[in-house]
């Protein structure tokens, strides 16, 4: 069932069109997410959908009814908002703030009935804020305030909630909490949610539909898994110093590196090292990593050169040779402490070769373990040449000193 | 549920205490002065008056009936009106520093009175009529109010409206300054005393008019407590909850301007009550819920203004100090003290 639908809607202020040709539809219980750079017009779209701005062109249909024809009180029962401005209502408790959502339902003096109180308490417990009920709203943290504002919207018992950047200024815990509350709300109460976000990963994981807004146009529209590719994101935000990985749903920064570092990784052991060294201005070469490995995706997204093997294959001779070739060009080699198994045994040989070539070797592996491994290959005389490091910070420090 | 009941008990208690204090203030105001009349005596005299018993003329009766009673009533109802007007505008502008005169109400009244007292403009009326100053002051405030209202229909943001009100105030003050510069010395002194406000010489005529207009407006304020509460969350949220913002705006400006203009017309611009009493009241009740706050602020406004007027006429007797001097002198430290105890009230 269509809750809200727009037809060639143009939004803006006065006669200035900010975004043109907005065609969107949200069904009952769906989450629709607007993504786009700052100033692209997300807020203008949302403010128009919420009725704060009049459409410049086109139409908005709320449950099949022309938006402008719905009277304000009825509209308040269909639609609630959570805005970016944080209200400062003074000496008002959390309960009272949430209970204000009953406004369109209560009588002339706004007296709360037992039912109103019950609905308010339920909404507060839905956002995990029932223990805050008697605190003053102004004493809460940003995250707690945001949850209470969502509870207030739920108390209004609308069919559609519009949220403008509900995760802005929140810490990771509250960001996730807010998103999971919204998901729960859309599933359990079948409330339709339209929101704008800056976190691509959260949009990907929470929404049914994403709308990409850029330069006064809707750039793309659809299911997030289809729409959100690395290229699209980079185009949407005009990113050239970073890569977006659609497999991982994360953004990695790139750099114009001067120093080379070869990282022996695999099994996810290298990912954090890639990021750390990339951040410190190293161009990363890595190998030998399987194409199904987490390290492979992370390395790819930061633009590292990868010597890779097909998924689940034992490393082939040719691949090994290519890796060895690359290794010769690099002075700094790092052992990420990868787990050694049948399929990647050659990586260990590669490490021993690197030591033999008198490269600067830094290692995150325990010294004891390394000794044992080198003994198996009867190469324990080289072990003194390896610089063992406790953690990534230690590696970064020692590499920088060793230069 | 339990906690809501507990809060209601607190509100009822504070409201009861304030009502008792208001009554006490009333009796004190009638009893104290150059002629001291005991509280019991005051009580009996008022009872006699109310029930029209014994028409004989005693001195007490004259003092109470003709002087102190109207003055006390006037001070109290004026205090209530100013305090409620201040509360409304503080919510409307979401600014704790706003008072009832922020929209230029008092400056408009002052200018109109200045025209009469300083420039001798009588608007074609006989200068001898007793209500001339009152009428002039009231029309001055209403005129400014109308101008501000007309502009407020055009502007979107309340801050703009606030600035327009301030500018209207400055404009009127500036014209008043011109008048003062060209006026005679004695006229200026009389004018300045008027600008500092006084409840002396309140006749029953004036009190009746004041009560008849102010009381219904004060009661009407209770009717808008629901949208006022919604406005605490800001205008956008209020609209989204179904508040008719244009009508509410109009009503708030109208009510607060009428209350403030009315008091100014009769007593001159009494400062500080409208700014400070809402804060004191919020701290007493520990809430910003207007269903409680409006009656509470009205009571407190009456008490505080009553006490200030008592102070103004008795402490330095026979000299009477202007009421505005006393309200600020006593009010400012109270507000600072309360705010330091409770930080995040604003």
**What would the pLDDT profile of B241-259 be if each residue is shown by its tens digit?**
999 988 898 899 889 888 9
Of B242, B291, B346, the CB nearest to A90: B346
Residues of A in contact with B223 (CB under 8 A): 108
- B3 interfacial to chain A (CB closer than 8 Å): yes
Give the least confident one: A20-34, A113-127, A306-320, B194-208: B194-208
Residue B334, pLDDT above cutoff 90: no
- Mean pLDDT score of chain B: 84
Closest CA to B110 of B77, B139, B85: B139
Average pLDDT over residues B315-333: 84
User: Is residue B12 domain-resident?
Assistant: no
CA distance B165 to chain A (A): 23
Q: Would B109 be classed as within a structural domain? A: yes
Terminal Cα distance for chain A, rounded: 64
**pLDDT tens-digit readout, B127-151:** 555 678 888 888 888 888 888 878 8
B63 occurs within a structural domain: no
Q: Are A152 and A97 in contact (CB under 8 A)?
A: yes
Question: How many Å lie between the alpha carbon of B29 and the closest alpha carbon of chain A?
Answer: 33
**Rounded Cα distance, A60 and A80, in Å:** 16
Per DSSP, what are the bridge partners of residue A332? A360
Quick check: B246 contacting A, CB < 8 Å? no
Q: Does B234 touch chain A (CB under 8 A)?
A: yes
B1–chain A Cβ distance below 8 A for any pair = yes
The domain containing residue B128 runs over which residues?
73-342
Domain contains B11: no
* Residue A402 CB neighbours (<10 A): 11
- The CA distance from B290 to the nearest CA of chain A, in Å, is 10
Question: Contact at 8 Å (CB) between B269 and B324?
Answer: yes
Q: How far apart are CA B151 and CA B171, in angstroms?
A: 15
Mean pLDDT over A152-162 rounds to: 94
Q: What is the nearest CA distance from B343 to chain A, expressed in angstroms?
A: 10
Between CA A9 and CA B211 the distance in angstroms is 55
pLDDT at A5 over 90: yes
User: Which residues of chain B have a CB within 8 Å of the CB of A136?
Assistant: 344
**Higher-confidence residue: A400 or B218?**
B218
Mutation to test the B interface, candidates A94, A110, A131, A155, most B Cβ within 10 Å:
A110
Residue A33 forms beta bridges with which residues? A195, A210
Q: Which residues of chain A are at the B interface, by a Cβ-Cβ cutoff of 8 Å?
A: 50-52, 72-73, 75-77, 79-81, 83, 85, 87-93, 95-97, 100-101, 103-104, 106, 108-110, 117, 133-134, 136, 138-139, 156
A110 contacts on B by Cβ (under 8 Å): 225-226, 229, 291
Q: Region B267-283: what's the mean pLDDT?
A: 87
CA-to-CA distance for B54 and A82, rounded, in angstroms? 67
For the stretch A344-355, pLDDT in tens is 888 988 898 888
What distance in Å separates residue A101's CA from the closest CA in chain B?
A: 7
Chain A to chain B Cβ contacts (< 8 Å)? 84
Evaluate whether B337 touches B280 at the Cβ level (below 8 Å): no
Q: Do B345 and A91 touch (CB under 8 A)?
A: yes
Range of lowest pLDDT (A326-330, B56-60, B83-87) = B56-60
Total tally of structural domains belonging to chain B: 1
Say yes or no for a CB contact (<8 Å) between B344 and A81.
no
Provide the shortest C-alpha distance from residue B232 to chain A (in Å): 5
Helix or strand run (H / E) with residue B146: helix B132-152
Quick check: B201 pLDDT over 90?
no
Residues of B in contact with A77 (CB under 8 A): 242
- Identify the helix (H) or strand (E) that includes residue B66: none
Given an 8 Å threshold on Cβ–Cβ distance, is B230 in contact with A103? yes
Instruction: Specify if B52 maps to a domain.
Output: no
Contacts of A79 in chain B (CB under 8 A): 240
Question: Comparing B278 with B341, which gets the higher pLDDT?
Answer: B278
pTM, rounded to two decimals: 0.80
CA-nearest residue to A85 within chain B is: B234
Contact at CB, B232 and A92, closer than 8 angstroms:
yes
Residues of B in contact with A100 (CB under 8 A): 229-230, 233, 237, 241
Question: Are A300 and A359 contacting, i.e. CB atoms less than 8 angstroms apart?
Answer: no
CATH number at residue B283: 1.10.3470.10
Give domain status of residue B122, yes or no: yes
- Looking at residue B49, its pLDDT comes to 75
Q: Give a yes or no: residue B10 inside a domain.
A: no
Name the token pair of A219. 């750039």
Collect all residues of chain B within an 8 Å Cβ-Cβ radius of residue A46.
Answer: none
Q: Does the residue B241 lie in any domain?
A: yes
What is the distance in angstroms between the Cα of A145 and the nearest Cα belonging to chain B?
12
* Cβ–Cβ under 8 Å, residues A54 and A126: no
Most B CBs within 10 Å: which of A44, A95, A103, A124, as the mutation test of the B interface?
A103
> Which of B159, B164, B160, B169 is CA-nearest to residue B148?
B164
């Amino acid at each position: 069932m269509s809750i809200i639908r727009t037809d060639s809607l143009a939004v803006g202020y006065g006669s200035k069109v900010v975004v043109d040709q907005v065609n969107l539809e949200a069904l009952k219980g769906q989450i629709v997410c607007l993504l786009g750079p700052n100033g692209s017009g997300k807020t203008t779209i949302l403010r128009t959908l919420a009725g704060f701005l009049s459409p410049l062109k086109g139409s908005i249909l709320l449950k099949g009814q022309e938006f402008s024809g719905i009277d304000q009180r009825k509209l308040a029962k269909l639609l609630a908002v959570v805005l970016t401005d944080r209200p400062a209502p003074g000496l008002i408790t959390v309960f009272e703030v949430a209970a204000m959502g009953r406004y369109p339902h209560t009588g002339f003096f706004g007296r709360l009935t037992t039912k109103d109180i019950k609905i308010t308490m339920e909404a507060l417990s839905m956002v995990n804020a029932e223990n805050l009920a008697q605190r003053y709203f102004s004493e809460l943290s940003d995250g707690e305030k945001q949850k209470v504002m969502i509870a207030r919207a739920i108390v209004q018992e609308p069919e559609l909630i519009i949220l403008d950047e509900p995760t802005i200024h929140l810490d990771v815990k509250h960001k996730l909490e807010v998103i999971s509350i919204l998901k729960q709300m859309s599933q359990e109460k079948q409330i339709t949610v339209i929101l704008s976000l800056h976190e691509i990963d959260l949009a990907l994981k929470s929404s049914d539909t994403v709308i990409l807004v850029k330069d006064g146009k809707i750039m793309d529209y659809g299911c997030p898994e289809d729409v959100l590719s690395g290229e699209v994101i980079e185009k949407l935000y005009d990113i050239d110093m970073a890569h977006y990985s659609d497999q991982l749903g994360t953004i990695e920064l790139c750099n114009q590196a001067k120093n080379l570092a070869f990282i022996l990784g695999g099994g996810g052991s290298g990912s954090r090292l890639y990021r750390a060294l990339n951040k410190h201005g190293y161009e990363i070469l890595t190998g030998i990593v399987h194409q199904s490995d987490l390290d492979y995706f992370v390395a790819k997204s930061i633009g590292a050169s990868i010597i890779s093997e097909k998924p689940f294959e034992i490393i082939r001779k040719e691949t090994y040779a290519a890796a060895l070739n690359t290794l010769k060009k690099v002075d700094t080699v790092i052992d990420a402490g990868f787990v050694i198994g049948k399929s990647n045994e050659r990586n260990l040989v590669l490490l021993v070769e690197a030591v033999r070539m008198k490269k600067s070797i830094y290692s995150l592996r325990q010294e004891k373990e390394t000794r044992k491994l080198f003994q198996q290959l009867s190469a324990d005389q080289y072990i003194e040449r390896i610089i063992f490091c406790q953690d990534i910070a230690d590696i970064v420090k020692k590499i920088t000193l060793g230069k | 549920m339990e906690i809501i009941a507990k809060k209601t008990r607190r509100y009822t208690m504070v409201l009861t205490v304030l009502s008792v204090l208001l009554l006490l203030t009333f009796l004190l105001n009638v009893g104290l002065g150059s002629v001291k009349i005991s509280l019991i005596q005051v009580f009996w005299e008022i009872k006699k008056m109310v029930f029209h018993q014994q028409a004989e003329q005693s001195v007490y009766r004259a003092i109470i009936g003709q002087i102190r009673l109207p003055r006390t009533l006037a001070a109290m109802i004026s205090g209530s009106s100013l305090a409620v007007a201040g509360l409304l505008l503080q919510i409307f502008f979401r600014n704790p520093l706003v008072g009832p005169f922020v929209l230029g109400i008092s400056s408009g009244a002052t200018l109109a009175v200045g025209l009469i007292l300083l420039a001798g403009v009588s608007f074609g009326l006989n200068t001898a009529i007793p209500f001339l100053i009152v009428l002039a002051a009231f029309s001055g405030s209403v005129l400014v109010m109308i101008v501000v209202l007309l502009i407020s229909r055009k502007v979107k943001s309340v801050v703009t409206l606030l600035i327009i009100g301030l500018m209207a105030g400055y404009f009127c003050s500036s014209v008043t300054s011109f008048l003062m510069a060209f006026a005679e010395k004695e006229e200026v002194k009389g004018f300045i005393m008027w600008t500092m406000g006084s409840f002396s010489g309140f006749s029953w005529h004036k009190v009746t008019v004041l009560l008849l207009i102010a009381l219904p407006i004060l009661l009407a304020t209770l009717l808008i407590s629901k949208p006022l509460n919604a406005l605490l969350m800001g205008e956008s949220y209020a609209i989204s909850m179904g508040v008719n913002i244009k009508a509410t705006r109009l009503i708030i400006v109208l009510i607060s301007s009428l209350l403030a203009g009315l008091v100014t017309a009769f007593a001159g611009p009494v400062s500080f009550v409208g700014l400070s009493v809402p804060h004191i009241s919020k701290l007493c009740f520990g809430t910003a819920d207007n269903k409680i706050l409006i009656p509470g602020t009205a009571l407190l406004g009456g008490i505080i203004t009553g006490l200030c007027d008592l102070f103004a006429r008795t402490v330095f007797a026979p000299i009477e100090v202007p009421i505005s001097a006393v309200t600020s002198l006593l009010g400012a430290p109270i507000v600072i003290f309360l705010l330091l105890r409770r930080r995040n009230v604003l």
